[in-house]
Amino acid sequence: MTLLRMIPNLLSTFRLLLALVFPFCPQSEWIWLVLAGGASDVLDGWIARRWHLESWQGSLLDAVADKLFVLSVLVTFVLSGRFSPWWVPGLIVRDLTVALIALYAFCRREWESFRQMKASISGKLATAGQFLFFATVVLAPAFIDTIFAVAVLFSILAALDYGRRFILALRQRAVEKSI
């Protein structure tokens, strides 16, 4: 059982390593790295939930690995001329929103409100949209505009969802404190 407990975190660590090597790999390898990054993201969450191995630290490692992998791929694609740097903010609206929520929670000592926010369907769709966009950039650039629009839509919806859920968590904590 000890080895099983380590698998989700090992998969997240693997994604961190992929983020580090992605910019240095030849373009012919990009699709395999994107697929490996996506598969490791799906598998680590599934294994953690399936065998009840979730932890706050594991969730944080997973989130950091996701963000660094996405950032690495985006920067690499922009620097290689695959799309404009102006596209990046739209693709990471959800990520920026969550980062700002975390910063706010930390500064206001509302970390518990932030910790209560679990992954959501909208967040999973935003991540799927990012990975679909990455695969499209590499395999089907003719469809990049359409998939970009879908990925941005998913990212905006997830940002709104996380913002709404954080406000609700803050309100709930305020009610609990007043009782």
Round to whole Å and give the CA distance between 70 and 139: 17
Same structural domain, 68 and 151: no
DSSP label at 108? T
Domain end (from 24, 49, 82):
82
Query: What's the farthest any 2 CA atoms get from each other in the chain?
Result: 60
Domain match, 50 and 8 both: yes
Task: With H, G, I as helix, E, B as strand and everything else as coil, classify residue 12.
Answer: helix
Residue 33 sits in the same domain as residue 57: yes
* Number of domains within the chain: 2
- Does 98 lie in the same domain as 75? no
Residues 169, 106 share a domain: yes
Nearest to 19 by CA among 53, 61, 82: 61
User: By residue range, what is the domain housing residue 29?
Assistant: 1-82
d(CA 147, CA 77): 15
Domain edge (last residue) among 41, 59, 82: 82
pLDDT of amino acid 27: 97
Q: How open is the CA angle 17-69-79, to the nearest 5 degrees? A: 110
pLDDT of residue 1: 52
What pLDDT score was predicted for residue 110?
82
pLDDT in tens, the chain (179 residues): 577 788 999 999 999 999 999 999 999 999 999 999 999 999 998 998 888 888 878 888 998 999 999 999 999 999 999 999 999 999 999 999 999 998 998 898 888 778 777 888 999 999 999 999 999 999 999 999 999 999 999 999 999 999 999 999 888 888 888 88
> What's this model's pTM, rounded to 2 decimal places?
0.92
